[in-house]
Amino acid sequence: MSEEVIKTEGLTKVFNKHLTAVDHVNFSVKHGEIFGFLGPNGAGKTTTINMLITILKPTEGTASVLGFDIAKQHDDVRNVIGVVPQEYTADEDLTGLENILLCADLYGIPRQISKERAVDLLKLVELTDFKDKRVETYSGGMRRRLELACGLINRPRVLFLDEPTLGLDVQTRTATWDYIRRLKKEFGMTLFMTTHYLEEADALCDRVAIIDHGKIVVVGTPEELKHSLGGDIITLSIKEDHDVSELIRSVENVKEVKNENGSYRIKAEYGEVTAPFIIEALRKKGYTVTKLMLTEPTLNEVYLEYTGRSMRDTEESVEAFRTQRMTMRRARGG
Amino acid sequence: MSKLNEHHPGKFHGIWALTKRELKKWLKEPIILLMAILQPVLWMGLFGKAMNIGNMFSSGSLSLPLVVPIPGSSLIPPQLGDAFGNIYVDGSYLSNAFANLGPTIMQGIFGVKDYFSYMAIGMISFIVMFTTMFSGMSIVWDRRLGFLNKVLSTPVSRGTIIFAKVLNASLRAIFQATIILILAVIFGLQVSSTFTVVNILGLYAAVFLLSVGMSSVFLAVALRSTRWETQMAIVNLINLPLMFASNTFFPISQMPDWIQAIARVNPISYLTDANRQLTVLSLDASSLMVDFAFLGVFAAVFSVIGIALSWRYLTK
């Protein structure tokens, strides 16, 4: 089996001749990993995923999924992938079971087999008790789980998840992460997901690509990315009113020291090991450390470093998206 | 370890699954079903019975005075008339004569003696038109709710997606036509002497052909649309004009020339004519052939266009 499950070369999508949503993107996803596409709304995540799942044609460049060209062999691609879209796409008027069987029919799976699979999948996503209830009575978490089950009905070798936890509360989000981890473990599946939750990428993904303005800014494991920032942050204060920046700087592994009104912000590698050395060095010279805090960089700092923006800037548009979806559902019900 | 999807789907798989989905949705909504029955009841009851055109040509619509002056005519010798050349006839004679004339006028204009039978068959076209016109709406909703994207990511062909919608609209139209036929019989539809039960199959075939053509047109219009308001606007703009510029409720022969020109290319006229010939009119094989030929070409051309456009436009 080829080691690279997904490979893109100069993948580009231009809408209406001038809006470049995805701009010459190159990356590859290895077999069996969870690959995360991290970026704010409008960065090009969904456009990329839509090209890979063959519902958008690339303007330029190519990509392959399991060796199948997404433009020329789209039927082969569609056969081996599973898709869990951003929206709740299940038909609200049908029951959970009916929805799963409908998906199975779309893959041409004989009813006999799809019935067996549906039972297993409903058990996996813990919806067995609700299988004969209409989807309109489902909660957000249940709908998301149903989408997951639908995406797995054809036993895909690659599963695409577009914002799998968008709009879910914290508990449901954590539960969804568990399902995703289990999928990887039980089915040996390769997962490609997009998210704009940093903690999600951190908790789930083996490797992360940060995408902004249609371009990939950096790719790596969450650890590598955090490490690339140059270490941990140690914040400390001393009792004495004296500048000790130089003294701290002389400690091994300390890279940068900033005195911010008597509070020292220290960038250091291996912070948990370096911090005791700093305290020791200060005490030897007669200083008393009154406060010390050790922070490991999160993907948030990575994100900030590479895009120059905080992830929080995008939260508002998520709300807008949810409101729009609610309105649509109401309009449909009315 | 997961395996490849070992079921290599055929070219047309998924048609029935997608059609079944929509039919299920439709049947699960009792209100929609009730409306589907109520709408023709109201139309036939109110319109068909209230506009009692047959009665206009009966003696009841004449309240004649005892003696009616009739302007002199060259056929009548002047000495029979009065000083102005008018003749006077007993009103009851005229009334009786008119009562015999009325059905002949109805027969001449509408081809049937009672307007209700004429109109009830027109109702089938009306309902077929409405059902199929709104078929474009469902694809707009599927797009907005993301269902369309999900289907597009499965190995179902693009043409199948459209064809399932066409099939769904056609089956619904046939179902509604059946309801109307049953109701019309209850309300007193009078079938012609050439009617046999087999004719109903012919009627279904005609309904199917028009449904395929019409829903293909409206699905093609909706292919790229994300706003159902646009669809509503288009449908509302053309449904009534299209209906009245046809023989659905009134014979083409009585219309001004320019409306006649529209009515003669309006596929709805051909469906209505075929259906009338199969039920309330005496069957004329050659004109029935023309109707079916027109409907067949209409269905073929537009379904091919619809499917071709779906290949082109469903993947952006």
pLDDT in tens, A31-46: 989 999 988 878 889 9
Q: Are residues A187 and A273 in the same domain?
A: no
Whether A262 maps to a domain, the answer reads: yes
C-alpha–C-alpha distance, residues B121 and A250, integer Å: 98
Lowest-pLDDT range of A159-173, A194-208, B79-93 = B79-93
- The average pLDDT across A263-283 equals 88
- What pLDDT is stored for residue A323 in this prediction? 53
Q: Are residues A265 and A183 in the same domain?
A: no
CATH code, A33: 3.40.50.300
- What pLDDT is stored for residue A334 in this prediction? 34
Query: Hey, what are B313's tokens?
Result: 């436009």
- What pLDDT is stored for residue B110 in this prediction? 84
Whether A309 maps to a domain, the answer reads: no
- What pLDDT is stored for residue B79 in this prediction? 62
Nearest to A83 by CA among A153, A33, A151: A151
Instruction: Determine how β-strand A4-15 pairs with β-strand A60-65.
Output: antiparallel
Whether B42 maps to a domain, the answer reads: yes
Whether A143 maps to a domain, the answer reads: yes
Domain count, chain B: 2
Query: Hey, what are B208's tokens?
Result: 């199917």
Whether A10 maps to a domain, the answer reads: yes
With 60 as the cut, is the pLDDT of residue A315 above it?
no
Which pLDDT band, with edges at 50, 70 and 90, does A1 fall under? very low
C-alpha–C-alpha distance, residues A121 and A97, integer Å: 10
C-alpha–C-alpha distance, residues B216 and B306, integer Å: 5
Whether B172 maps to a domain, the answer reads: yes
Q: Are residues B180 and B221 in the same domain?
A: yes
Q: Are residues A84 and A211 in the same domain?
A: yes
**In degrees rounded to 5, what are phi and psi of residue B275?**
-65, -40
Q: How far is B156 from chain A (nearest CA, A)?
A: 6
C-alpha–C-alpha distance, residues A40 and A279, integer Å: 40
Q: How far is A230 from chain B (nearest CA, A)?
A: 39
Q: Are residues A204 and A259 in the same domain?
A: no
Q: How far is B198 from chain A (nearest CA, A)?
A: 35
Domain count, chain A: 2
H/E run at residue B311: helix B285-313
Q: Are residues B44 and B83 in the same domain?
A: no
- Per-residue pLDDT tens, chain B, 316 aa: give them: 334 455 666 667 788 889 989 888 888 878 877 887 788 788 888 877 777 777 777 766 666 666 676 766 555 565 666 666 677 777 777 777 777 777 788 888 888 878 888 889 999 998 899 888 888 888 888 888 888 888 999 988 888 899 999 999 999 999 989 989 998 998 888 888 888 889 999 999 999 999 999 999 999 888 877 777 888 888 888 888 888 899 988 888 888 999 999 999 999 999 999 999 999 888 888 999 999 999 999 999 999 999 888 888 887 6
- What pLDDT is stored for residue A183 in this prediction? 82
Contacts of A80 in chain B (CB under 8 A): 4-5
Closest residue in B to A66 (Cα–Cα): B4
For chain A, the first-to-last Cα distance in angstroms comes to 51
Closest residue in A to B10 (Cα–Cα): A108
Nearest to A146 by CA among A119, A132, A127: A127
Q: Are residues A262 and A187 in the same domain?
A: no
- Look at the alpha carbons of B240, B242, B246, B247 in this order and tell me if their dihedral is positive or negative: negative
Whether B134 maps to a domain, the answer reads: yes
Nearest to B155 among A55, A102, A108 (CB): A108
Residue A325 contacts by C-beta under 8 Å, 6 or more apart in sequence? A87, A167
* Mean per-residue pLDDT over chain A, rounded: 85
Nearest to B9 among A83, A93, A107 (CB): A107
Assess contact for B83 and B107: CB atoms under 8 A: no
Q: Are residues A174 and A268 in the same domain?
A: no
B21:A94 CB<8 A: yes
Which of A87, A97, A105, A121 best probes binding to B when mutated, by most B CB atoms within 10 angstroms? Answer: A105
- The average pLDDT across A122-129 equals 90
Assess contact for A66 and A159: CB atoms under 8 A: no
Residue B139: which domain range? 15-51+111-313
- The average pLDDT across A319-325 equals 53
Whether A33 maps to a domain, the answer reads: yes
Contacts of B17 in chain A (CB under 8 A): 102, 105-106
Nearest to B153 among A53, A155, A328 (CB): A53
Q: Would you give the distance in Å from CA A178 to the centre of its chain? A: 14
**In degrees rounded to 5, what are phi and psi of residue B10?**
-75, 180
- The average pLDDT across A160-171 equals 84
With 80 as the cut, is the pLDDT of residue A283 above it?
yes
C-alpha–C-alpha distance, residues A51 and B100, integer Å: 74
Q: How far is B21 from chain A (nearest CA, A)?
A: 8
% of chain A surpassing 70 pLDDT: 91
With 90 as the cut, is the pLDDT of residue A272 above it?
no
- What pLDDT is stored for residue B288 in this prediction? 93
Q: Are residues B235 and B304 in the same domain?
A: yes
Whether A75 maps to a domain, the answer reads: yes
Nearest to A87 among B25, B145, B153 (CB): B145
Nearest to A107 among B1, B3, B7 (CB): B7
Q: Are residues A99 and A199 in the same domain?
A: yes
Assess contact for B227 and B147: CB atoms under 8 A: no
- Is B7 at the interface with chain A, CB within 8 A? yes
Q: Are residues B298 and B222 in the same domain?
A: yes
Q: Which residues of A touch B (CB under 8 A)?
A: 50, 53-57, 75, 78-81, 83, 85-89, 91, 93-94, 98, 102-103, 105-110, 113, 150, 154-157, 187-189, 328, 332
B9:A108 CB<8 A: yes
A57:B28 CB<8 A: no
Q: Could you give the count of Cα atoms lying within 13 Å of A122 in the half-sphere of its Cβ?
A: 20
Assess contact for A102 and B22: CB atoms under 8 A: no
- Is B30 at the interface with chain A, CB within 8 A? no
A332:B155 CB<8 A: no
Q: How far is B147 from chain A (nearest CA, A)?
A: 5
Nearest to A106 among B3, B14, B141 (CB): B14
Greater model confidence, B288 or A324: B288
- What is the side-by-side order of every strand in the sheet holding A34-38? A81-84, A158-162, A190-195, A34-38, A207-212, A215-220
Whether B8 maps to a domain, the answer reads: no
Residue A264: which domain range? 230-296
- The average pLDDT across A215-220 equals 91
Contacts of A105 in chain B (CB under 8 A): 13-14, 16-17
Out of A198, A222, A246, pick the residue that ends a domain. A222
Query: Hey, what are A273's tokens?
Result: 């090991």
- Single-letter amino acid code for the residue at A206: D
Q: Are residues A136 and A55 in the same domain?
A: yes
Which of B23, B26, B29, B149 best probes binding to A when mutated, by most A CB atoms within 10 angstroms? Answer: B149
Contacts of B315 in chain A (CB under 8 A): 54-57
Q: What is the DSSP letter of B171?
A: H
pLDDT tens per residue across span A61-78: 999 999 999 999 988 999
Mind spelling out the 3-state secondary structure of chain A?
CCCEEEEEEEEEEEECCCEEEEEEEEEEEECCCEEEEECCCCCCHHHHHHHHCCCCCCCEEEEEECCEECCCCHHHHHHHEEEECCCCCCCCCCEHHHHHHHHHHHCCCCHHHHHHHHHHHHHHCCCHHHCCCEHHHCCHHHHHHHHHHHHHCCCCCEEEEECCCCCCCHHHHHHHHHHHHHHHHHHCCEEEEEECCHHHHHHHCCEEEEEECCEEEEEECHHHHHHCCCCEEEEEEECCCCCCHHHHHCCCCEEEEEEECCEEEEEECCHHHHHHHHHHHHHHCCCCEEEEEEECCCHHHHHHHHHCCCHHHHHHHHHHHHHHHHHHHHHHHC
* A&B contacts, CB < 8 Å: 106
Q: How far is B133 from chain A (nearest CA, A)?
A: 18
Which pLDDT band, with edges at 50, 70 and 90, does A333 fall under? very low
Which pLDDT band, with edges at 50, 70 and 90, does A259 fall under? confident
Whether B1 maps to a domain, the answer reads: no
Q: What is the DSSP letter of B277?
A: H
Q: Are residues A195 and A248 in the same domain?
A: no
B2:A54 CB<8 A: no
Q: Are residues A196 and A255 in the same domain?
A: no
C-alpha–C-alpha distance, residues B284 and A1, integer Å: 69
Assess contact for A216 and A209: CB atoms under 8 A: yes
- Single-letter amino acid code for the residue at B151: V
For chain B, the first-to-last Cα distance in angstroms comes to 34
Contacts of B14 in chain A (CB under 8 A): 105-106, 108
Q: How far is A218 from chain B (nearest CA, A)?
A: 28
Q: Are residues A158 and A243 in the same domain?
A: no
CATH code, A241: 3.30.70.100
C-alpha–C-alpha distance, residues A70 and B213, integer Å: 33
Query: Hey, what are A317's tokens?
Result: 């548009």
B13:A105 CB<8 A: yes
Q: Exposed, middle or buried: residue A320 (CB in 10 Å: 0-12, 13-18, 19+)?
A: exposed
Instruction: Determine how β-strand A60-65 pairs with β-strand A215-220.
Output: unpaired
Could you count the other beta carbons within 10 Å of the beta carbon of residue A293?
12
> How distant, in Å, are the alpha carbons of A25, A27, A38, A225, A289 from that of A213?
11, 16, 12, 19, 45
Q: Are residues A174 and A246 in the same domain?
A: no
- What pLDDT is stored for residue B1 in this prediction? 36
Whether A206 maps to a domain, the answer reads: yes
Assess contact for A45 and A162: CB atoms under 8 A: yes
- What is the side-by-side order of every strand in the sheet holding A263-268? A254-260, A263-268, A232-238, A289-295
- Single-letter amino acid code for the residue at B159: G
C-alpha–C-alpha distance, residues B298 and A185, integer Å: 55
